[in-house]
Amino acid sequence: MKNIIMPKLSDTMTEGLLGHWLKQVGDTISRGDIIAEVETDKATMGLEAFDDGVLLEQRIRPGETVPVGTVLGTMGTPGELPVKEAPGEAIAAPVQPAAVQPAAVEPAAVEPAAVEPARSAAPEITTREKASPVVRRKARELGIDLEMIQGSGADGRVLLEDLEKIAGVTPSAAVTGEPAVIPAVQLPPREGAGVESRVARMRGAIAATVGTSWREIPHFYATMEIFMDHAEEVRRELQMAGSPVSVNDLILKGITLALPKFPSLNALYTDEGLVPQNDINLGIVVNVTAGLLVPVLREAGSLTLVELADQTRKLVDLARNGMLTPADMSGGSFSVSNLGPQGVSQFSALILPPQVAMLAVGAVGETVIARDGEMVVGRIMRVTLSADHRAVDGAYAAGFLQELKSVLENPVRLLI
């Protein structure tokens, strides 16, 4: 028998909502079939079967939100009986930040069946068995004693709608959104997508991430002005030659050239301490209707400027069309937020844990500067590095900004 679990679909995901079961108990499942849909704050994913078998049971009902690692159901061989366990309980489901979920189905340890004497009365259903974790949590919030409720679910299981009837509270609505899958199979979008609900869930996920960042990471900030006259000349020349490159692309390329000299900024801060990363995987903050997404440009240091620009455009398009996969949003080692196109001249950004740095990029604007003893009009851009003081100090951050400034002010290096 194998457990079908709620997978961890992004670095920050802690729970997911079971949208729909696409297979029913007794249905034959082939490797590659989509068993169910899971809805997160970002998208709707399909749980893909990595083995053949039969769906033995469904432990979680559609519309329930459960923690990562929760057993959603089981599958096995025809005639096999599911092991009776507390429904909705979570099991360990560790995921490496840069890895795609290896499987939505994983083996479950099955103890040899023991023969028990016949009982004269039906076994008592405990509070833990008669409600999922999310229902128990909601009941605590509403001050409802689950022992006093006869649920409408299987075997008297209490559902969110049962709490709604008692307290007059509407449970969290199912989120529908643009599709993505595990690992990379598209699901068709359903009609009647709940935009307001999706926005609320995404804002909730953002709140959880930035709350953790603000509470746990000792931020400090360093700002530097960079003259962009020469860099913009290079951009115009590339565009005239048929290579559409943006100012943001120049900045991203400049970061890939500066970071190798400052490996402690291209790193993750974990329980074991600072872990520098071998590859430069750039997280790019993208504004979408429901909030923010951060797709990851993988191995950015190995890309030419034109290749980097092309792949960045594709990632941004996927983000704005709701087509990112979990792999597209995991494994970032350094992130960039650019509010220049919105006219913001300077700002500070919060670091995305477990990363240790985020670069906030402002708009390029004209200013009067002294150059060779004369007053001239130049184009400058302010960038602010947010850094984790547990990982680096101010001088180290300043060194990175000086290197980035040198690269962008001498942009021939961007073309190598």
Catalytic residue among 20, 219, 230, 389: 389
- Burial category of 112 from C-beta neighbours within 10 Å (exposed 0-12, middle 13-18, buried 19 and up): exposed
Establish how many alpha carbons lie within 13 A of residue 153's alpha carbon, considering only the half-sphere containing its beta carbon.
22
Provide DSSP, 53-109.
EEEEEE-S-TT-EEETTBEEEEEESTTPPPP---TT-B------TTPPPS-SEEE--
**Contact indicator for 303, 159 with CB cutoff of 8 Å:** no
Stretch (H or E) spanning 378: strand 374-388
Say if residues 93 and 68 touch (Cβ distance below 8 Å): yes
d(CA 334, CA 329): 13
Measured in residues, the chain has a length of 416
Contact 403, 254 (CB under 8 A): no
Q: Is the Cβ–Cβ distance between 364 and 381 less than 8 Å? A: yes
- The answer to whether residues 179 and 43 touch, using CB atoms and an 8 Å cutoff, is yes
Is 219 annotated in the active site?
Answer: no
In single-letter form, the type of residue at position 93 comes to A
* Token pair for 242: 């048929």
- Rounded Cα–Cα distance for residues 334 and 299 (Å): 12
Beta-bridge partners for 288: 291
**Catalytic sites, residue numbers:** 389
